[in-house]
Structure 1
Amino acid sequence: MIHIGLIREEKQPQDNRVAFTPKQCQWILHHFPQVRLYVQPSAGRCFKDEEYEKAGALLQEDLSHCSILMGIKEVPSGKLIAGKTYLFFSHTKKKQPHNQHMLQTILEKKITLIDYECLVHADGQRILGFGFFAGVVGAHNGLMAYGEKTSTFHFKRVHTCHDFQELINHYFGIKLPPMKIVITGSGRVAAGALEIMGLLGIKYLPPEEYLINQYTYPVYTQLKAGELYLRKQDKTYSRADFHAHPEDYECRFLPYVTASDILMNGIYWDHNIPPLFQAADIQKENFRIQVIADITDDTQGSVPCNLGDSTIADPVYGVTKNTLDMTAPYLPDTIDMMCVSNLPNELPRDASQYFGDQLMKYIFEELLKPESEIIRNATITTAGRLTEKFAYLEDYAKGLEEPSIK
């Protein structure tokens, strides 16, 4: 018998998402009779404890008998149980400073850490993520901020909706003013933003038309990586080469700052990739963008006026154009920034169902096998050691290296 526990989210602020919904637990118990599922009670979870009990899962505070423990966000060091296999988003593979101590504790306690972010298909594409609903909520929040800034329309807050369907119903009858929106990226985040564009009837335009024309209705364009970045030497783009040598590429976004009212940023970024624009560009008269929904949310990353995370409770802050200082939003001289790092928490039931579906389709059976290449490639630590693939984290784990940025 394989005992699997769904742990309570303990990181603050507490996350309300889950790896498996009650109905997904019910499906697993029916199709995998060798599995027992245990759920740690939680008042903060988006599904009630009673829903899990009705589905056949066992509510239990002590999960020390479970060999596999599954959560969503990082587990505080004091809550980690020695010798177990954990699955969660550890946010350690980029040497994030705030999780250095947690990784050290994981190694000390001889825990096997499988990171959801590192689970990939054979072609390297990520299997799991909440990006789609981050894109949905981020796009809504960006439009909401623009409506407030211009006093032209008003959106309700996503987290007040029971689910995605209620949010869709909210859009009925809302007429948006003329505006131009540029969306960057082509992954799950961008797909979520495009979903909102479709639900609101915002018209797509090819980039070249978007740049030169004005419209009496809302429009958007989408810039994928190959349209945003070109190799300096020969003005071409190769995905593999770009990720291997981003320093050889230049960003082609700058013309869009003079043509757009809203930027919805869903592009992948790391510290070697040039930003979409420079801080100095913001101070120029022709910088038109008024609202930026930085959905991928890297502090001073691809968007240099991202000065840090905002929160679900207070999702938008202003950045003064002249001094780039953080201030109140919706002032005449501000760019208004939406930089919430946990956007899917505003639609936790839908986001959890989407995540759990992918987990069941591609990972769960692999997890039960004695050996799995997919699982092995996502395993950061085992038996008190870093695995070969993640050996580059050794100095970070030992505290011998300065942690990198977020």
Structure 2
Amino acid sequence: MTELHLWLRHEVRSTERRTPLVPSDARRLVDAGVTLTVEESPQRIFPIEQYEAAGCSVAATGSWSSRAPRDAVIVGLKELPDEPATLPHRHIFFGHAYKQQPGAAELLRRFAAGGGALLDLEYLVDDQGRRLAAFGYWAGYLGAALAVLQHRGRLSAPLTPTSHEELEESLRPAARDEEFTALVIGALGRSGRGARVALGAAGIEPTCWDLDETRNLDRPALLAHDVLVNCVLATGPIPPFVRDTDLDDPARRLRTLSDVTCDVGSPLNVLPVYDRVTEWTEPVRRLHKEPPLDLIAIDNLPSLLPEESSTGFSGSLLPLLLEFGTGGPWGRCLERFHQACRELGITEGGSPRV
């Protein structure tokens, strides 16, 4: 490996407790010769002292933009702050910028103006296009868990981070709980598997749909379920699962809709019945009064189980960071960034390297 400097940044979103790199895996990177700088963060689930003990250097919160060397690779999870206007570094995070999402063009222009590059974690894939590092399991688990709690009248706000054991305990059915039906779409993927496990913990045997069942969608059967957990991230145009006209259907039994994917704003959104995500402070929004339909659409669900989800993700990312270079998954990430800029007619100000 050529000399690599990784800079783990603080997350600007106040509800983001996760990290893409846990202290034990940071130690393995340092032992492999990687220079690792970690910004202080009051909300990160792992304290800065654990990173120091692992051999990392410590930097002030948000200092990457002014202090990180030009060749450092900035590592994070969620959105960047609005400033600086130009981004000269290579950044690893979930950019949500390649499917015409709101703000996508502005973000890519910042990279192009500075000569930096976005290495989007969503597009860190193998030769068959399978994602190599993902929070999918815990996103699906939490999406289904919140749907169960809401449907049973036990979801309270604001949401706060918890542990797997505490959450599973809250899912166990009580004597007063009524039975209900649940449908998981995308049931065979990571998120779908997590959703099925959470529903099982709640005593629910869900209906499971995947590609075969959605190829010719049985919409009346979908609307006949009480709860829907969507775990599908469409990569091409497909008919929407729930449409505005379905909300007025008097035969609709569907009362709780949990959208794990949260592809709002994208033309590939399979649930185009809402225009903004929900938040930890207000996790549920009523989409329709009669018959009622409640929406849960939180785009950082795994942060509610920050230790478990961070540990799993970091374990998947670690071997990829140890092989960071110009080819393979990272090369594909960089090419996808260039392609996105070309599609938007954005002229890059430099030639970022991996």
* TM-score range normalised by the length of the shorter chain: 0.7 to 0.9
Instruction: Report the Cα distance in structure 2 between the residues aligned to 1:139 and 1:254, rounded to whole angstroms.
Output: 21
Residue matched to 1:222: 208
Give distance in 2, aligned partners of 1:174 and 1:53: 45
Pairing 1:219-258 to 2, within 5 Å after superposition: 220-230=206-216, 251-257=217-223
Unaligned segments of structure 2, at least 5 residues: 348-354
Report the counterpart of residue 248 of structure 1 in structure 2: none
Return the offset for 1:197: 1.9
Distance 1:308 1:112 in 2: 27
Comparing 269-278 with 136-145, greater Cα deviation is found at 269-278
SS at match of 2:83: helix
Q: Is the counterpart of residue 366 in structure 1 residue 308 in structure 2?
A: no
Q: Write the deviation string for residues 193-247 of structure 1: whole angstroms up to 9, x where unpaired.
A: 01102323323xxxxxxxxxxxxxxxx21110211113xxxxxxxxxxxxxxxxx
1:21-100 correspondence to structure 2 within 5 Å:
21-30=22-31, 32=32, 34-61=33-60, 62=63, 63-65=67-69, 67-79=72-84, 83-100=88-105
Q: Give the aligned partner of residue 244 of structure 1.
A: none
Q: Measure how far apart 1:354 and its partner are.
A: 1.3
| Contact in 1 for aligned 2:226/2:256 (Cα 8 Å) | yes
- Aligned length, in residue pairs: 335
Secondary structure, aligned partner of 1:97: coil
Quick check: 1:158–1:167 contact (8 Å CA) kept in 2? Answer: no
CA distance in 2, matches of 1:2, 1:317: 45
1:139 aligns with 2:94: no
Which residue identity does 2:30 align to in structure 1?
A: L
Q: Please say if residues 228 and 253 of structure 1, whose CA atoms lie closer than 8 Å, have aligned partners that are also in contact.
A: no
Q: Deviations over 1:168-195 (max 9, x none)?
A: 2334564542111011003222111011
What per-residue deviation string (whole Å, max 9, x for no partner) do you get for residues 143-167 of structure 1? Answer: 111112xxxxx35679545422332
- Aligned pairs (5 A) from 1:108-119: 108-119=113-124
User: What 5-or-longer segments of structure 1 have no aligned partner?
Assistant: 149-153, 204-219, 231-250, 322-331, 399-406
What pairs with 1:367-382 in structure 2 (closer than 5 Å)?
367=324, 369=325, 371-379=326-334
Q: Structure 1 pair 317/172, CA: closer, same or farther in 2 (3 Å)?
A: closer
SS at match of 2:152: helix
Counterpart of 1:129 in 2: which secondary structure? coil
- Give the aligned CA root-mean-square deviation in angstroms: 2.6
Distance 1:90 1:296 in 2: 14
Q: Which residue of 1 aligns with 2:134?
A: 129
* TM-score (ref. length: structure 2): 0.85
Aligned counterpart, 1:268: 233
- Distance change >3 Å, CA 107–CA 59, structure 1 → 2: same
Structure 1: which amino acid aligns with 2:344? E
Q: Could you tell me which residue of structure 1 aligns to residue 350 of structure 2?
A: none
Distance in 1 separating the partners of 2:329 and 2:55 = 29
1:207 match: none
Give the distance between the partners of 2:82 and 2:161, measured in 1 at CA.
33
Once the two structures are superposed, what CA deviation does each residue of 1:116-149 show, in whole Å capped at 9, x if it has no partner? 111111111111222211111111111111112x
Partner SS for 1:38: strand
**Alpha-carbon distance between aligned partners in 2 of 1:311 and 1:79, rounded to the nearest angstrom:** 26
Letter in 2 for 1:267: V
Find the counterpart in structure 2 of residue 241 from structure 1.
none
Paired residues of 1:137 and 1:344 also in contact (CA < 8 A): yes
Deviation at 1:377, TM superposition (A): 0.6
Deviations 1:249-281 (A, max 9, x none): xx3333221x31111111223672111143223
Secondary structure class of the residue paired with 2:207: strand
Contact preservation (8 Å) 1:161, 1:167: no
Q: Cα 1:17–1:80, aligned 2, differ >3 Å: closer, same or farther?
A: farther
SS of corresponding position for 1:78: coil
Within 5 Å, give how 1:152-171 maps onto structure 2.
154=154, 159-171=159-171
Identity rate of aligned residues, in percent? 24
TM-score (ref. length: structure 1): 0.75
Q: Specify whether residues 166 and 47 from structure 1 end up closer, same or farther in structure 2 by C-alpha distance, changes over 3 A only.
A: same
Pair 1:333–1:38, CA change in 2 (3 A): same
Q: Is 1:299 the counterpart of 2:289 in the alignment?
A: no
Helix, strand or coil for the counterpart of 1:86? strand
How many angstroms does 1:390 deviate by? 3.6
Please say which structure displays the higher CA radius of gyration: 1
Whether the 8 Å contact between 2:252 and 2:291 is mirrored in structure 1 is no
Show the counterpart of 2:351.
none
Deviation at residue 298 of structure 1 after TM alignment: 3.1
- 2:309 corresponds in structure 1 to 351
